Amino acid sequence: MPELPEVETVVRTLEYQLGNVGIASCEVLYPNIIDNVEVNSFCELLKNERFTSYSRRGKYLIFTLDTKVLVCHLRMEGKFYVEKDLTLVDKHTHVIFTLDDGRYLLYHDVRKFGRMYLYDKNEPLTCLSKLGLEPWDSKLNVEYLRSKAKDMPIKQFLLDQSIIAGIGNIYANEICFALNVLPMCSVSSFTNEMFEQVIVHTRRILENAIASGGTTIRSYTSSLGVDGRFQLSLMVHGRDKEECKICHEKIVKIQLKGRGTYYCPRCQK
Ligand SMILES: [Zn+2]
């Protein structure tokens, strides 16, 4: 599943590839992808709109158009492709944007869990309303994290999009390793110093992952011809039975709240 660094990479790549192109027309092949408006009006409203800026909030992509804002969540396997023709269109293609320069922006999604939302520019983006702080928000500090901390595993705390937005399974595993704490360790026992370390390592790991173009693993490739390289820097995620890069102990994999959870039993306490 694409997490903050992968979504950021997709946003930057689309901005580079599409610039201020216009949408000539739009076709939706799987209506459930469109969440908050009728499919017919979605297509009608997007016609002749031009992309003006590209951004991200948590794991959501935000495309600002002339008078509309298109928000998209890729969920498990959503991918965008920019193509010169329609040869790549198959049963997994759910939205086709015909661009006014003759190219196409295709939305593929094997699992069909991705969602798109369309708003007027002056409307609140309600699909984002429950999101917590961005990792680099100046309001993200020890007091904020302490106010959100309950008796819950640190990994679950990191995955909670209403606390810090954008962290998913890969980076939650990596942040726990950087903190030297077991993923199931409760945040209710965290000292101020440990919360400070949560902020420091979250920012550092996500920044490094963005600089590497994100992580490309079996369950997610970013499309658009861009492969991330952060998988080479992973310390625990996806490395069960391999040696810890620090202490050479074997990395352990367990299920925690239904998610594959990796840790080093010697480095993490
Ligand atoms: Zn270790």
pLDDT of the residue at 255: 97
What pLDDT score was predicted for residue 129?
A: 98
Assign 112 a pLDDT band (cuts: 50, 70, 90).
very high
Q: Minimal CA–CA distance to 2: which of 92, 81, 106, 74?
A: 74
Q: Is the confidence at residue 226, as pLDDT, over 70?
A: no
Q: Ligand 1 centroid to 115 CA: how many Å?
A: 39
2 is catalytic: yes
Q: Please check whether residues 42 and 78 belong to one and the same domain.
A: yes
Ligand 1 centre distance from Cα of residue 74 (Å):
33
Residue 167 shares a structural domain with residue 219: yes
Pairing, β 23-28 against β 259-263: unpaired
Domain count, the chain: 2
Same domain? For 180 and 95 the reply is no
Integer Cα distance of 39 and 32 in angstroms: 9
The answer to whether 47 is a known catalytic residue is no
For the segment 143-172, what is each residue's pLDDT rounded down to a tens digit? 999 999 999 999 999 999 999 999 999 999
The CATH code of the domain that includes 154 is 1.10.8.50
Same domain, 46 and 149: no
Q: Do 76 and 111 contact (CB within 8 A), yes or no? A: yes
| Annotation says 266 is catalytic | no
Q: How many angstroms separate the Cα of 6 from the Cα of each of 57, 87, 90, 131, 189?
A: 12, 25, 24, 18, 32
Domain boundary among 128, 160, 187: 128
Query: Residue 105 belongs to a domain with what CATH number?
Result: 3.20.190.10
Q: Are residues 100 and 15 in the same domain?
A: yes
231 alpha carbon – ligand 1 mean position (Å): 18
Catalytic residue list contains 59: yes
Catalytic residue among 12, 112, 253, 259: 259
Tell me, yes or no, whether 155 and 257 share the same domain: yes
135 lies in some domain:
no
Do 122 and 225 belong together in one domain?
A: no
Angle of CA points 109, 95, 124, to nearest 5°: 95
Does some domain include residue 212? yes
pLDDT band at 1 (very low <50, low <70, confident <90, very high): confident
Q: Among 171, 157, 182, 49, which residue's Cα sits nearest to residue 105? A: 49
For residue 262, the cross-strand partners are 253
Is residue 199 scored above 90 in pLDDT?
A: yes
φ, ψ dihedrals at 126, nearest 5°: -65, -25
Whether 167 and 203 map to the same domain: the answer is yes
Residue 231 lies in a domain: yes
Domain that holds residue 18: 4-128
For ligand 1, a single-atom ion, which residues have Cβ within 5 Å? 244, 246-247, 249, 264, 266-267
Report the C-alpha gap between 236 and 127 in whole angstroms. 32
- pLDDT value of position 218: 57
56 CA to centre of ligand 1 in angstroms: 34
Residue where a domain terminates, one of 65, 94, 128: 128
SS3 139: coil
Evaluate whether 82 touches 112 at the Cβ level (below 8 Å).
Answer: no
14 assigned to some structural domain: yes
Residue 104 lies in a domain: yes
- Could you tell me the two tokens for 205? 């790991």
The residue among 128, 156, 178 that closes a domain is 128
pLDDT for 17: 93
Specify burial of residue 64 (Cβ count, 10 A radius: 0-12, 13-18, 19+). Answer: middle
Same domain membership, residue 119 and residue 29: yes
Residue 137 domain-assigned?
no
Are 248 and 146 within one domain?
yes
Does the pLDDT at position 73 exceed 90? Answer: yes
Share of the chain above pLDDT 90, in %: 92
Model's pTM, two decimal places?
A: 0.95
**pLDDT tens-digit profile of 114-144?**
999 999 999 999 999 999 999 999 999 999 9
